[in-house]
Amino acid sequence: MQQFVDKINEQLPVHAMWDGYQIRKFKRKNLVIGGSQDWIYYHNVDLIFKQVTFFNLPARWRDTQIVGEDLFRLSDKEEFAQHHPDFVVGDKHVFAIDLHFSYQDIFQKHTYFVVASRVFFERLKDPSGDGLVEYEDPLGEVGFLPKTNRLDNF
């Protein structure tokens, strides 16, 4: 799986998505994260996680909040358990996204997780005209960067 994640990160233009990334949809345990240069008109890339059992990503973030050239990385059960000791990963893979946020003048790294069976990447050769997002954040009213499993609220 590590080689697959590395290959996706090589193809994914992290700091070229000027309008950032956001969760486009979550349906039938499939999580789709889109990246766009201009969300008003279209999106350019999709990162698709299959058979998701856990995710706690914010609904949207900017590419400036990513340090380095990789959008996500393959994590492990031990790192995940440090953050979420009560959740059983099972036979799934743990993917992590490290985002850096400034909150009350403090710039900090926050690690978010997706627990899924597989991940795919799709670059749209002719950017899709659908800049629309079908995802409605179930924890949108909770406050700054909630870290609980969003699947508990679906």
Where are the chain's structural domains?
2-153
- Mention every residue, 6+ apart, whose C-beta is less than 8 A from residue 84: 54, 113, 149
CA distances from 103 to 68, 108, 127, 142 (A): 20, 8, 33, 16
Instruction: Find out whether 105 and 43 touch, Cβ atoms under 8 Å.
Output: no
Q: Exposed/middle/buried for 57, CB within 10 Å: 0-12, 13-18, 19+?
A: buried
User: Considering the entire predicted model, what is its pTM?
Assistant: 0.85
Mean pLDDT, to the nearest integer, of 79-103?
A: 93
- Count Cβ atoms below 10 Å from residue 99 Cβ, excluding itself: 19
Separation of alpha carbons 41 and 61, rounded Å: 18
Say what the pLDDT of residue 143 is: 63
Q: What is the dihedral of CA 74, 77, 79, 83, to 10 degrees?
A: 120
Q: Are 33 and 141 in contact (CB under 8 A)?
A: no
Pair of tokens at residue 128: 């899709």
Euclidean distance between CA atoms 126 and 152, whole angstroms: 36
Per-residue pLDDT, 127 = 60
pLDDT in tens, 112-136: 999 999 999 988 766 655 666 777 7
